[in-house]
Amino acid sequence: MRIIGGKYSGKIIKDPKGFNSRITTDMAKEALFNMLDSNFYFEDLTVVDMFGGSGNISYEFLSRGVAKLYVIEKDFKNFRFISSNIKQLADKESYCLIKGDCFKKIPALAGDGVKADLVFADPPFAAKFIETIPDFVFESGILKDDGWLILEHDKRNDFSKHPLLKDKRKYGGVLFSIFYK
């Protein structure tokens, strides 16, 4: 896995041994971050990465200098892998790595007063709960009034009828659905 932009552009992070999660391709990642760069100043952003996985997307946000990043990861091996890498990319003040279920941790963060400009969700594509993520995020109170949810998924999910869907981008077999009020 390679960081494609920002101050750590080109840095290679080796996948953990036995890692079996899908990692967002460089092509899809580059397109996503070009779109975000056109709409946000990274230095001003508070971001929540709901499903940290390998940390691939989180490393990109840190490399671009976001103000604060919250990374939630449930799997112990993935959490440990992210923890070992994230320390090399940012000061502890710029990120918060949280072990646990994002469906429990997001309401807790919102209850603690955290307000995100952007929530990124890249759940396992076969997960049955994907359809619930947009409503969950908006009802949780984690997003600022003008905040965005970006949901990475495949063609099995169609959010075209969701009232808060504003845009959809397709890169190979990956789709990014973008929601905001």
Task: Report the CATH number that the domain containing residue 94 is assigned in CATH.
Answer: 3.40.50.150
pLDDT digits (tens, 9 = 90+) for 63-79: 999 999 999 999 999 99
Asked, for residue 1, whether it belongs to a domain, the answer is: no
Banded pLDDT at 56 (limits 50, 70, 90): very high
Distance (Å, rounded) from C-alpha 22 to C-alpha 20?
7
Distance (Å, rounded) from C-alpha 4 to C-alpha 16?
19
Q: Are strands 68-73 and 95-99 parallel, antiparallel or unpaired?
A: parallel
Average pLDDT over residues 20-26: 78
| Whole-number pLDDT of residue 14 | 81
The total domain count for the chain is 1
Q: Does pTM top 0.75 for this prediction? A: yes
Asked, for residue 130, whether it belongs to a domain, the answer is: yes
| Whole-number pLDDT of residue 20 | 65
| Whole-number pLDDT of residue 92 | 85
Give percent of the chain with pLDDT exceeding 90: 84
Q: Where is average pLDDT lowest: 39-48, 58-67, 82-91, 118-127?
A: 82-91
Q: And the tokens for 163?
A: 């009232």
Asked, for residue 90, whether it belongs to a domain, the answer is: yes
